[in-house]
Amino acid sequence: MCVPPENGGFPCQGQAIMTRTCNTDPCPVTELNEVKPPKLLDPVIRVMPISNRLQRYEICVIKEGDMLLQMTLAGNKMELPVRVILNNRTLSIFSQSTYNNIYKSFELPFVSLETRSAGDKKRCFSVTDSRQSSKKETLCVMA
């Protein structure tokens, strides 16, 4: 673009607008039906503690530890980490490492334990309240 002369300058010579060719390559052709499947990456698995609390054990008084609670939600089977405390009177399942969130508690005189078959690699057992058969949970040892 030509700028008019100022302060006694000379006018521009040639055309007022300069042009040049650019982008002369043809556009790439893409197929709308060509859909690439998503690339699945390998999962990253980290072994981390369930709780910052130490596992407590006093012989004949209390046993505390981390286990996996098997449950089914919306048709999906899953295992959730829980803290289990066994004392002389109860077996209690906590959903967090604090003692504020108790999931279920069973009184030992009314508990029925059922172990799985010998080939069960997860080493699971079921705890049922004999007074309420609907009060049943399956716990597995963390491997």
pTM exceeding the 0.85 threshold for the entire prediction? no
Per-residue confidence (pLDDT) for residue 49, from 0 to 100: 63
Distance CA 113, CA 128 (A): 7
Per-residue confidence (pLDDT) for residue 39, from 0 to 100: 86
Per-residue confidence (pLDDT) for residue 91, from 0 to 100: 93
Asked if residues 110 and 36 have their Cβ atoms less than 8 Å apart, the reply is: no
Least confident span in 1-10, 35-44, 67-76 = 1-10
Residues 6+ apart with CB under 8 A from 71: 77, 78, 79, 80, 137, 138
Q: What percent of the chain has pLDDT over 70?
A: 85
Left if phi > 0, otherwise alpha if psi is -120 to 50, otherwise beta: which for 114?
beta
- The total of other beta-carbon atoms located within 10 Å of residue 84's CB is 20
- Does residue 42 carry a pLDDT above 80? yes
Q: Compare 138 and 96 and report the one with higher pLDDT.
A: 138
Give 132: exposed, middle or buried? Use CB within 10 Å, 0-12, 13-18, 19+.
exposed
- Does residue 61 carry a pLDDT above 90? no
Per-residue confidence (pLDDT) for residue 142, from 0 to 100: 80
The residue ranges of every structural domain in the chain are: 57-141
* Model confidence pLDDT, tens digit, residues 76-135: 888 888 889 999 999 999 987 677 788 899 999 999 988 876 666 678 899 999 898 788
Per-residue confidence (pLDDT) for residue 9, from 0 to 100: 83
**What architecture is domain 57-141?**
Roll (2.30)
